[in-house]
């Protein structure tokens, strides 16, 4: 989506964008030498040099650049590996495991899975095969009334949200099948939103209602970071921000995922992020195909159709970041009638999306008189500790954090422990905890909690990279279903 820019558009807004493409390995090495801060700044494009201040920021910038350069090198291998892994996982599942596949091969009856069909399951779906809601989750939805709230993080509502966040990783046909036939709810639509930076339709989100007529609840679920999508992981390690006047600094990559601008022409963000943005945008078919505008327009029509309905927004990982930014932009666009119908926002393993100023703005709207934003974090999950919280990039979490340790004990806090993950005193406990999680995954029994070989393999990977295995949706489903309150020790 291209938008013309001129001097009137570029005046007054501020941004800082980290650009790994602006230098090579030699420049990175030089940046660590004497006087290397100037070399490190080669990787930074900003609206005002004073934004960098007098502090040496080489380490933070270099971490972002190195991580994103490594990820870019493996972009195609990751894509090919993902296609192969998902195909093989579906071949095994369609043919009844490895032994079933061998039997079918001998008898010429091999079932070949069709990508995009309602039986082709993603790698995340194979990692955690649970698809059904807790019965009380369904009962809760049926009892919702206009005056109900999401206060206190009600467990049944959280279960619906984490299952919807996990389901968002699947293709449209799988989502429709599970929503209609397993959850007995009304499937509304599935969107592939345009990302102007990636130049592809890569932002997936679906909408459901608890019933077709006179709905009480509308759920919007954004897809998270796909395990084999290099662009998604690169976004998590991107520290670039754009500052919205009177609102605060917001992560550039997440704005791009919602279809609200493109870093190649920073003025596009200003066009979208103003009260009357829709009136000033040129006519474009792509506008309706972006995640934000497509979902917003459909939500407004659903709220008009279902007079009693309230809506919830949810997502895991990257999807969690988009879930909280969606109502943020609704507030910016002064969609007051829509926001009055917001029941809550539940995110799981969500990265930071903005600075402290943004947090104060959102807490004023979602924190009072009752909390409507719940940020669920499992133990040593790396992603909620990104992007880095330091004096340059100023990323801060906000909202109520529901933190679960590896025994699924819940604590309510402002910020999860070890906020930037790389704290030395947490290093040994992280690895010891990874060993415990592997042992636990082998011991856990029962159809709802017994982990398969793929999940156990990820736990093995976690022995080297604890923060990555902790990010698995399996941990979040277990936390919600098995979680106990820290004070009472009883299921909440």
Point out the residues that are catalytic.
Answer: 317, 381, 471
Query: Could you check whether the bond before residue 33 is cis, i.e. omega within 30 degrees of 0?
Result: no
Closest CA to 189 of 265, 274, 273, 302: 302
Structure tokens at 257: 């995922």
Could you tell me whether strands 14-18 and 241-244 are parallel, antiparallel, or unpaired per DSSP bridges?
antiparallel
Sign of CA dihedral 18, 19, 24, 27: negative
Q: What share of the chain is helix, strand, coil (3-state, %, to 5)?
A: 45, 15, 40
394/379 Cα distance (integer angstroms): 23
Question: Which regions of 307-453 does DSSP assign to beta strands (E)?
Answer: 310-316, 342-348, 373-378, 400-404, 409-413
- Report yes or no: 30 and 36 within 8 Å, Cβ to Cβ: yes
- Report yes or no: 456 and 441 within 8 Å, Cβ to Cβ: yes
Closest CA to 250 of 193, 258, 226: 258
**How many CB atoms sit inside 10 A of residue 185's CB?**
23
- Report yes or no: 349 and 383 within 8 Å, Cβ to Cβ: yes
- What letter would DSSP give residue 124? H
Closest CA to 251 of 346, 124, 383, 366: 383
Closest CA to 244 of 332, 174, 314: 332
Specify the 3-state DSSP secondary structure of 380.
coil
Question: Cα torsion for 447, 448, 450, 454, to the nearest 10°?
Answer: 110
DSSP 164-205: HHHHTTS-HHHHHHIIIIIS--EEEEEEEEEETTTTEEEEEE
- Report yes or no: 320 and 313 within 8 Å, Cβ to Cβ: no
């Amino acid at each position: 989506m291209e938008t013309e820019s001129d001097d009137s558009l570029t005046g007054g807004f501020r941004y800082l964008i980290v650009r790994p493409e602006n230098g090579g390995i030699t420049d990175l090495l030089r940046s660590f030498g004497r006087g290397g801060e100037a070399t490190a700044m080669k990787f930074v494009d900003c609206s005002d040099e004073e934004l960098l201040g007098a502090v040496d920021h080489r380490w933070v910038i270099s971490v972002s650049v190195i991580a994103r350069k490594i990820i870019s090198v493996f972009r195609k291998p990751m894509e090919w590996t993902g296609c192969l892994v998902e195909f093989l996982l579906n071949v095994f599942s369609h043919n009844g495991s490895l032994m079933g596949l061998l039997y079918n091969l001998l008898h010429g009856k091999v079932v070949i899975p069709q990508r995009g069909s309602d039986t082709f399951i993603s790698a995340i779906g194979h990692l955690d095969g649970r698809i059904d809601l807790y019965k009380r989750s369904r009962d809760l939805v049926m009892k919702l009334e206009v005056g109900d709230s999401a206060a206190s993080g009600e467990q049944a509502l959280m279960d619906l949200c984490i299952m919807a966040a996990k389901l968002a990783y699947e293709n449209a046909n799988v989502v429709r099948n599970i929503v209609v036939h397993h959850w007995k709810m009304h499937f509304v639509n599935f969107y592939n939103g345009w990302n102007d930076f990636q130049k592809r339709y890569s932002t997936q989100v679906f909408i459901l209602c608890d019933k077709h007529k006179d709905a009480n609840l509308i759920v919007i679920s954004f897809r998270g970071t796909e395990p084999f999508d290099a662009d998604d992981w690169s976004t998590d390690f991107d520290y670039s921000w754009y500052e919205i006047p009177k609102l605060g600094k917001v992560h550039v990559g997440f704005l791009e995922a919602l279809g609200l601008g493109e870093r190649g022409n920073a003025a596009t963000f200003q066009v979208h992020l103003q009260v009357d943005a829709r009136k000033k945008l040129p006519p474009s078919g792509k506008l309706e195909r972006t995640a934000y505008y497509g979902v917003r327009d459909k939500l407004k029509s659903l709220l008009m159709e279902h007079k009693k309905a309230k809506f919830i927004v949810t997502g895991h990982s990257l999807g969690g970041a988009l879930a909280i930014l969606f109502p943020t932009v609704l507030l910016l666009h002064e969609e007051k009638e829509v926001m009055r119908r917001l029941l809550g926002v539940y995110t799981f393993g969500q990265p930071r999306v903005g600075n402290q100023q943004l947090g104060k703005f959102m807490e004023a709207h979602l924190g009072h008189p009752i909390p409507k934003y719940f940020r669920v974090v499992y133990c040593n999950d790396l992603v909620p500790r990104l992007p880095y919280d330091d004096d340059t990039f100023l990323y801060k979490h906000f909202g109520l954090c529901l933190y679960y340790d590896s025994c699924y004990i819940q604590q309510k806090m402002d910020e999860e422990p070890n906020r930037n993950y790389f704290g030395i005193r947490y290093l040994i406990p992280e690895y010891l905890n990874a060993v415990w999680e592997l042992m636990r995954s082998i011991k856990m029994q029962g159809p709802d909690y017994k982990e398969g070989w793929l999940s156990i393999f990820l736990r093995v990977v976690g022995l080297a990279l604890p923060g990555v295995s902790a990010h698995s949706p399996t941990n979040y489903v277990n936390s919600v279903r098995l979680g106990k309150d820290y004070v009472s020790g009883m299921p909440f």
